Amino acid sequence: MALPAVGAVAGIATLGARYHLSQIYGPTLRYTGQAGTMALTFDDGPNPAATLTLLDLLEKHGARATFFVIGNYVSRAPEIVREIAARGHVVGNHTENHPSLLWLPPGRIAQELRRCDEAIAAASAAGANSARRWLRPPYGSRGPQLEHVRRAAGIDAVVMWSLTCFDWNPQPKEKLIARLGRARWNLSGKCGGDIVLLHDGWSKQWAANKDYLIGALEHWLPRWADAGVKFVTVDQITTKL
């Protein structure tokens, strides 16, 4: 009888480490907390093949977003991170090298967060638009050791998501358009709108092509704007941790 019980506990622990809405290893932001709002978040940049085009598109439709950047990519293209901040978007920490944090010891996690912070700081006031500090763990994976490291590093919160369109791999834009059609910006009640997980880059390939993502957002951004959606950064989220 003990083995099935152990297996069940292990299964719950693993699910809690990977499931994007789980709170088992510490509180996270998952919704905006405001009906009529949506928080667009972009991981794995900066990307010289896509991020600047994306910034132009967001500006065209009056949308502000949050960019969770990879430290070693920031070091390759600090000018893009400066442009992200200059256009009023928020910059967050997505670690230095994009490892899964699930099994990393605390010291290694702290090193990943610190080096990413240092890269952002070296990109000349790239974080100036954020009054707080945010973390998006790679793959959404986190273990019980992360909460202590986060607090010690002075990071205010882990930001997860309530909607993803699985856009890290190349695919027809029509698939992303269909998945983004599930966005819950118009919900009433405590959940409010979605935090949407998107990727302006790809951790496995520098300067990855993201035309399919740009195409999907060219479809949805004007439609969301016409419907009265208010785009918020994570700094503006009202959900209580």
H or E element in which residue 152 lies: helix 146-152
User: Cis before residue 106, ω within 30 degrees of 0?
Assistant: no
User: Is 130 in contact with 83 (CB distance < 8 Å)?
Assistant: no
The catalytic position among 89, 94, 98, 199 is: 199
Is 61 annotated in the active site?
no
Q: Are 241 and 157 in contact (CB under 8 A)?
A: yes
Which residue among 43, 117, 156, 194 is the active-site one?
Answer: 43
Give phi and psi for 31, each to the nearest 5: -135, 165
43 is catalytic: yes
The tokens of 212 are what?
A: 């399919």
Q: What is the number of residues in the chain?
A: 241
SS3 assignment for 62-122:
CCCCEEEECHHHHHHCHHHHHHHHHCCCEEEECCCCCCCCCCCCHHHHHHHHHHHHHHHHH
Catalytic residues: 43, 199
